[in-house]
Amino acid sequence: MSGPARIGGNGGASLRFTFDGVEYRARPGDTLAAALLANGIGRVARSFKYHRPRGIMAAGVEEPNALVTVGTGGRTEPNTRATDVFVYDGLIAHSQNRWPSLAFDVGAINGLLAPFLAAGFYYKTFFGPPKRWMFYEKFIRKAAGLGPAPTAADPDHYEHRSAFCDLLIVGAGPTGIAAALAAAQSGERIILVEQDRVVGGSALADGASSPDDAEELRKAGVRLLTRTTASGLWDDGFVTLAERLTEPGQSPPPGHPAQRLWHVRAERILLATGAFERPLTFAGNDRPGVMLSQAVRTYIHRFGVLPGSCVVIATNNDDAYATADAIAEAGGKVAAILDERAELSAIARAAKARFQIHTNALPLSTKGDAHHLKSIEADIWTERITFDADLLVVSGGFTPAVHLHSQAGGALDWRADLQAFVPGASHQAVTSIGSAAGEIEPIAPPLTGPLAHPKSSFIDFQNDVTAADIDLAWREGYRSVEHVKRYTTLGMATDQGKTSNMAALARLAGAAGVDIPQVGLTRFRAPFTPLTLAAMAGPDAGGHVAPSRRLALHDRHMKLDPLWLPLGYWHRPRAYPLAGENLVQAARREAHAVRTAAGIVDVSTLAKFIVAGPDAAAFLELVCATGIAKLAVGRGRYTIMLREDGMVMDDGTVWRLAETRYLVTSSTGGADGMEAHLSYARHVLAPTLHVSIIPQQEQLAGIALAGPFATEILAELIGAAPPAHMGLINATLASVPVLILAASYSGERSFEVYAPGFEAGPVWDALEAAVRARGGYAYGLEALDSLRIEKGHVVIGAEADGRTTADDFGMGRMQRKAGGFIGAQALLRPALSAPGRMQLVGVEAAEPIPEGAMLIARDGAPVEGHVTSATARVLGDGSVALALLVNGRERIGETILASSPTRGRQVRVTITDPVFYDPDGARYRD
Amino acid sequence: MMRIDCPHCGQRAQAEFTYERTLDSVVTVEMVADEAMRRLYERANPRGLDDELWRHSFGCRQWLVLRRHRTTHAIEAVVSFDPTVHV
């Protein structure tokens, strides 16, 4: 192309847009690609690997070359196909993968380095000295790439919407429209989706579509969604549709979403997705000015743009002759038609009067400068002839768009007459129609002879994969198409090889000396075209990313202005700093108060279940590894639950509230899993037991009161004697009925006070006032953690990491010898009692111990364990930590290195018993 | 996303259900250790139909058995879990 290309001038171009900072004008209805061509801009991009100048090859979503960045700030959308953006007033587009400018690109030197960037280059750099990859990595990362992702937050909102229909039709071309109108008479719920802004599909290329079609469809009762892409076809007729309500980079009207992702469940699906035209393989087939035949016709008829004035057409089919006529009608000169076929068809013979037609003619190579195509060298019979031209139209036949059919698990059948795969059997109610089903012009097998310049003959334009790369992969022993794909990155670009697939298979089949179906085909995956992350996230962004669970006592905590800690969906106070305190200081003060006076902590998030019924004890003995049956009414006990593989799943306490009624507590983080686990045990493993399980996590708020003054505080507030250790009573506190469990997690005398969530406020107030009156404080999770580490209590997720048994914790004897609980059989596995297991120990040092540090004898020695939780001592100096260490219990008294390379710290620690504080429990026992 | 025909609630989206395990990997506490370990670690994983235990977690919360094809995901039958039949 050599100048503005709008047929009859650029009249009516009322929309302003900029490309690389230069302002141009577009007509309403123009795609960015049409507007760029109309303004005489043929080169719009640099290629992925070699930075070769690239132009516009297609007119639809299959465009491999013309990727641009559209929009600014948070509305920046990189890697957008210029053929898939409709120009709006004020659109800002930039070319990509070039520095400092599209015209002068330093990276184009990669083109000279092409021999080093062939297939498998990255892979090969991984072998040999590691420095080799380190050297190339910087260079490759800078050179190979697409547009950078935006860093600013997206200001727009996105919607998800569900719909149901009897019939979903994908593609509003002539076939899809006819099918929709025919089906509409039945009165069924029909959704017709079209990724373009207007209906018409392939008819738009021939100027044959009617603007009334959309109106007719709507009148017939069809729900027509334009600018909507059927992105994924999943199981049981579930389809995701991506609807663009605004163009990339465009601000939506106030209150409107930018995009809408539809979740559609369709009883039946018709795929009228059409076919993609194939390019031809020759040297320099990627140059700006080489375009697909139907695309050229589309630019002429739909957009009034003639992308070249002196044209050569290379084809293997009749369809390109319609393009020749369109070019001639639009005032262009068709210098020659190079027809690959030896014998002309009737249509081609009829065209002989109008055009210079060569049979047995193949394009060999192109010449041009960075902007323009200049000439084409062709192989005609035995001659080489050069034609001057500024546009080379290519048509290698058509490939049915079978992507959605394949996504849905449908088989693909080879049709030798079409040299294409067509949809085969599908186990879903999915049917392809029209050209998607193979109603396309037959072509002869492509010639797979030697190419003049395979290293500049591109197969996959977007990922810069050449014919030479595929040949190389074959020579290096890659036989499966799946392996060739990964080795060469063929078809792995954002276009998923829409234009390159068949050429690649043909090349591979040629190298292997087999037919294309023997080479095979990779499965197509969603999304059909790139989908923005924002559309997928929909409304689940910002504060809506996850649900937020608030404690019943949330407002009481707010008054104390705590530091919050998100734990799962819960938000819990981490510490309550006084003026001027940081987290560490606040937690230290709070923990100190618990050891010396009193403190209260919100433990409402613990999982709680009422287990009731005549078989309640039998059920609990199924899920708990510890003895339950002998527990007396009014007493409680620590317990552990195992997974079926014998590892510790969770721990907690069991309380016998009445003869056949128990309360079970377990960890916060495992609460949902425990609910499912108990239901599984109840309904699947023990269906005959008479027992009910009632989850109480959110019904009961819990406050733990701990410290030397806990007993007298509680006695004063309930007007009665508090229960003995591991006992329970019902009482009234601040006029609220409460359940009091005497259990100690902190290592001090402690009571858990449970009240209905909506009545817990006054209980907290009364406890807090009493605690403060004795010099104590409310304490948060940070202090709680310090207290329990000192006491040697394990935590699910830290010490119980899914690989540890009760015996590893020194709690093996708590498990019932007779078995009969979940996980009991697995404990018999020899490896679980073999020497060399990691066991729970304590480690101590004068200086802070890094959490997560590995335990090693010396630098470079094998890792023997790791620190699971660490804290400074609450009373006194120094640090203590819990750790898992190989044969740990035999090694008490030894020293070992706790090494954390990520923090650059190494501490020599002494191995101890895991209970650092009050090992006999004298502080809480009666 | 599959569509599962819950015998209690009717056709619902897969997102409402939780997969538990195949029926042949249910381990009861009565089983001897060898049998239990075989069921846990040596599953059939057939390329074809299999019986699976699911729960309608965000619906009726009942336990269901799906007879489902491993490659096509086609669901042949959905019935309530029945301990007298399924274990």
- Tens digit of pLDDT per residue, chain B (87 long)? 999 999 999 999 999 999 999 999 999 999 999 999 999 999 888 999 999 999 999 999 999 999 999 999 999 999 999 999 988
My answer on whether omega of the bond before A100 falls inside 30° of 0, hence cis, is yes
- pLDDT tens for A537-566 read 999 988 898 899 999 999 999 999 999 999
Q: What are φ and ψ of residue B54, in 5° steps?
A: -130, 165
- The verdict on A683 touching B (C-beta cutoff 8 Å) is yes
pLDDT above 60: residue A113? no
Least Cα distance to A747 among A787, A784, A779 occurs for A787
Q: What is the pLDDT of residue A147?
A: 85
Give A193-228 pLDDT, tens digit per residue.
Answer: 999 999 999 999 998 878 789 999 999 999 999 999
Averaged pLDDT, A585-612: 98
How confident is the model over A165-190, as a mean pLDDT?
A: 96
- Any idea of the CA torsion for A537, A539, A545, A547, to the nearest 10 degrees? -140
A11 pLDDT band (50/70/90 cuts)? Answer: confident
| Residue A593 structure tokens | 């108060």
pLDDT surpassing 90 at residue A611: yes
Q: Name the minimum distance, in Å, from the CA of A235 to any CA of chain B.
A: 5
Residue A821 to chain B, least CA–CA distance (Å): 6
Q: How far is B61 from chain A (nearest CA, A)?
A: 9
For residue A106, name the pLDDT band (cuts at 50, 70, 90): low
Model pLDDT for residues A51-86, shown as the tens digit of each residue: 889 999 999 999 999 999 999 999 999 999 999 999
Picking from B3, B31, B63, the nearest residue to A684 by CB comes out as B63
Nearest chain A residue to B29 by CA: give it. Answer: A820
What are the chain A neighbours of B12 within 8 Å (beta carbons)? none
- Categorize the per-residue pLDDT at A683 as very low, low, confident or very high, splitting at 50, 70 and 90: very high
Structure confidence at residue A130 (pLDDT): 61
What was the pLDDT predicted at B59?
97
Helix (H, G, I), strand (E, B) or coil at A346: helix
| Residue A767 reports pLDDT greater than 80 | yes
Residue A353's region, left for phi above 0, alpha for psi from -120 to 50, else beta, is: alpha
Strand ranges, E, within A551-699: 563-567, 570-575, 599-602, 607-612, 636-642, 648-658, 661-666, 692-695
Residue A446 clears pLDDT 90, i.e. is over it: no
Instruction: Give CA torsion, residues A27, A31, A36, A37, to 10 deg.
Output: -90
So what's the pLDDT on residue A512? 86
Closest CA to A724 of A711, A706, A738: A711
**pLDDT value at A1 more than 60:** no
Interface of A with B in 426-445 (CB under 8 A): 427
Give the pLDDT score at B82: 96
What percent of chain A has pLDDT above 90?
A: 85
Residue A805 corresponds to which amino acid? T
Tokens of A475: 């020579």
What pLDDT is attached to residue A132? 64
Q: What is the pLDDT of residue A3?
A: 72
User: How would you classify the pairing of strands A357-358 and A333-339?
Assistant: parallel
Query: How many contacts (CB atoms, under 8 Å) link A and B?
Result: 71
Tell me the nearest-neighbour CA distance from A829 into chain B, angstroms: 9
pLDDT for the residue A306: 96
Instruction: Name the pTM for this structure.
Output: 0.90
Do A819 and B29 lie within an 8 Å CB cutoff?
yes
Is this complex's ipTM strictly greater than 0.95?
yes
Judge whether A258 and A246 are in contact, CB under 8 Å: yes
A185-200 mean pLDDT: 96
CA A628 to chain B, closest CA, distance in angstroms equals 17
pLDDT value, residue A142: 62
Helix A319-329 and helix A293-303, axial crossing angle in degrees, nearest 10? 40
Q: For A280-309, how does the pLDDT look when each residue is reduced to its tens digit (9 = 90+)?
A: 999 999 999 999 999 999 999 999 999 999
| B87 bridge partner residues | none
Does A818 reach chain B within 8 Å, measured CB to CB? Answer: no
Stretch (H or E) spanning A753: strand A750-756
pLDDT of A750 higher than 70: yes
Contacts B32 to A, Cβ<8 Å = 825
A671 pLDDT exceeds 90?
Answer: yes
Residue A516 CA to residue A510 CA, distance in Å, equals: 8
How far is CA A303 from each of CA A30, A41, A244, A299, rounded to the nearest angstrom? 6, 15, 21, 5
* Closest-CA residue of chain A to B18: A676
**What average pLDDT score do residues A678-699 get?**
97
Residues of chain A with C-beta less than 8 angstroms from the C-beta of B81: 683-684
> Which amino acid is located at A513 in the chain?
G
In this prediction, residue A123 has a pLDDT band, given cuts at 50, 70 and 90, of low
The pLDDT confidence band at residue A617, using thresholds 50, 70 and 90, is very high
Structure tokens belonging to residue A90: 């004020």
Residue from the list B2, B26, B63 with its beta carbon closest to the beta carbon of A236: B2
Q: Which residues of B touch A676 (CB under 8 A)?
A: 18, 55, 57
Q: Report residue A778 as tokens.
A: 């409310």
CA R_g for chain A = 36
CB atoms within 10 A of CB A9: 10
A488: closest CA among A513, A471, A512, A510?
A471
> For A37-99, where are the E strands, in sequence order?
45-46, 53-54, 67-70, 77-81, 91-94
Q: What is the pLDDT of residues A216-265, one digit of tens each?
A: 999 999 999 999 999 999 999 999 999 999 999 999 999 999 999 999 99
Nearest one of A161, A211, A157 to A191, comparing CA atoms: A161
Torsion angle (degrees, nearest 10) of CA B29, B35, B37, B40:
-80
Please compute the mean of the pLDDT values over residues A822-843 and round it to a whole number: 96
How far apart CA A740 and CA A704 sit, in angstroms, is: 9
Two tokens at A369?
């400068």
- For the cut 60, the answer to whether the pLDDT of residue A112 exceeds it is no
Mean confidence (pLDDT) of chain B:
96
Contacts of B74 in chain A (CB under 8 A): 427
Average confidence score pLDDT of chain A: 94
Mutate to test the interface with B, among A428, A644, A679 (most CBs of B within 10 A): A644
How far is the alpha carbon of A641 from chain B, nearest alpha carbon, in Å?
14
Segments of A780-890 assigned E as strands: 838-845, 854-856, 863-872, 879-886
Shortest CA distance to B42 belongs to which of B60, B58, B59, B22? B22
Name A762's Cβ contacts closer than 8 Å, sequence gap at least 6. Answer: A734, A735, A736
Indicate yes or no: CB of B1 within 8 angstroms of CB of A683.
no
Q: Cβ of A676 and B18 within 8 Å?
A: yes
